Amino acid sequence: MTHRSLALAALVSAGLGLAALSVPAASAAARPSSARPAFALPASAPFAGTPRVGALFTTGAGGSLGHHFCSASVVDSPGHSLLVTAAHCVVAPGSGRARSGLVFVPGYHNGVKPYGQWRVTRVVADAKWSLHGDTDFDVAFLTVAPGAKGRKLQDVVGSEAIAFNTARSGPAVAVGYPSRTERPVHCDSTLRGFGTAQLEFDCPGMPGGTSGGPLLTGAGASGGGRGTVVGIIGGYQEGGLTPDISYSPYFSAGIAAVYRAAANQR
């Protein structure tokens, strides 16, 4: 598998500096984990996965898959090839450099790749993250190359809706891939506002690797039905210092501008 390298391009949308990045690898921090707090919360549970959410993998020599390290989900887009994840998964904060050689495997579980593997060709993140490490912009959108016979990812697995400027509290489902297991987990819990630009989601069992996983409204309790992405595990503390309390940047007009910049590229 070859890696496509795109020059760093400065984009402007709604007055915000954005960057389309696909450059040699830069380290991106994994989500840290710690001890569980001593209060009762709804807990995550492993399951067989959903086709619209998958694991991000590194690749080695010859394009062989390495280990999965973060999570991502397919979202509606005109090009039918767009993912959303945490920016810290793919761009080291403040570096202006994106990781290369990334592959998305939707519905991955127990070594099975039921919908194939999809090569990431473009990373779009706001310069507030990629150049300054602003946790309120810890969101990235990834474009993947067509698969076999030129088929687009969204046409193969479907997609989640995505929404901006939504309510800051209410029920939601998180889905993600712990990096030390081979099955995804889901958790049905509650979102609430955390400051003016972040959301909090409390659920034990969302450890390292679940970063970038979607926070869904309107989906089934396991995230199995089509839902709406209103956040991703990331933001404050790169998603949280413990596996029990997760965070997300609030999907504001600023994040909507990043989405539009990514969705409108071909």
The contacts of residue 176 (CB under 8 Å, 6+ apart) are 53, 71, 184, 185, 206, 209, 210, 211, 212, 213, 233
For the chain, the residue count is 266
Per-residue pLDDT tens over the stretch 183-202: 999 999 999 999 999 999 99
CA-CA-CA-CA dihedral for 259, 262, 56, 9, to nearest 10:
-130
200 and 245 in contact (C-beta within 8 Å)? yes
Confidence tier at 2 by pLDDT (50, 70, 90): very low
Task: Between 205 and 5, name the one with better pLDDT.
Answer: 205
Per-residue pLDDT tens over the stretch 27-62: 344 444 334 444 456 789 999 999 999 999 999 877
End-to-end Cα separation, the chain, in angstroms: 21
Q: Is the pLDDT of residue 265 over 90?
A: no
231 and 219 in contact (C-beta within 8 Å)? no
Task: Between 63 and 83, name the one with better pLDDT.
Answer: 83
The token pair at 171 is: 């029920």
Q: What's the pTM?
A: 0.86
Task: Between 264 and 15, name the one with better pLDDT.
Answer: 264
* Nearest Cα residue to 173 out of 248, 67, 81, 236: 248
Q: Give the percent of the chain with pLDDT over 70.
A: 84
Residue type for 1, please? Answer: M
Per-residue pLDDT tens over the stretch 129-167: 999 999 999 999 999 999 988 999 999 999 999 999 999
254 and 14 in contact (C-beta within 8 Å)? yes
Per-residue pLDDT tens over the stretch 228-240: 999 999 999 999 9
Q: Is the pLDDT of residue 8 over 60?
A: no
Confidence tier at 26 by pLDDT (50, 70, 90): very low
Q: Where do the domains of the chain lie, and which CATH numbers do they carry? A: 6-263 (2.40.10.10)
Instruction: Write down the pLDDT at residue 220.
Output: 80
Confidence tier at 225 by pLDDT (50, 70, 90): confident
60 and 3 in contact (C-beta within 8 Å)? no
213 and 175 in contact (C-beta within 8 Å)? yes
Across all residues in the chain, what is the average pLDDT? 86
Residue 252: C-alpha distances to residues 9, 149, 198 (Å): 23, 37, 10
For the beta carbon of residue 36, count every other beta carbon within 10 angstroms. 14
Read off the pLDDT of each residue in 243-253 and give the average, rounded to a whole number.
Answer: 97
Confidence tier at 126 by pLDDT (50, 70, 90): very high
Task: Between 3 and 42, name the one with better pLDDT.
Answer: 42
Rounded Cα distance, 104 and 85, in Å: 11
Instruction: Write down the pLDDT at residue 41.
Output: 62
The token pair at 215 is: 């926070």
Rounded Cα distance, 92 and 96, in Å: 7
Q: Is the pLDDT of residue 20 over 70?
A: no
